[in-house]
Amino acid sequence: MTSTETVIANRTQAAADRQPPAGLPPELLVHAQRSETLEFDLLDRTWDLLPGVWPPYISPETKGFTDWLPYPVGGSFLEVGSGC
């Protein structure tokens, strides 16, 4: 198993073991209980979404910040997120 596969396996198990907060809305509960890696498209790229990571396609902040904050054409942008 490669180190990347080990990280994914560990995250998957951690997500499966974790209990979501009480009262979480059903549309968010689906993501809190997810234990598989998903693939999604955002900003003309395809991304892997690991278990336990907030899906950025649910809220517009990532797209909004990349449109709002200046960075050079062809430059890069690291959106770390708060994990909340």
pLDDT tens, residue by residue, 22-76: 776 777 777 777 788 889 888 788 988 888 777 777 777 777 777 888 878 888 8
Q: For position 65, what pLDDT does the model report?
A: 75
Q: Which pair of structure tokens corresponds to residue 45?
A: 């790229």
Residue from 50, 32, 30 nearest 40 by CA = 50
Q: What is the mean pLDDT of the chain?
A: 76
pTM greater than the 0.95 cutoff: no
The domain limits of the chain are: 3-68
Residue at token pair 């689906």: 30
**From residue 9, how far is each of 3, 33, 34, 35 by CA, in Å?**
10, 15, 13, 10
Q: How far apart are CA 54 and CA 43, in angstroms?
A: 17
Residue 13 φ then ψ, to 5°: -65, -40
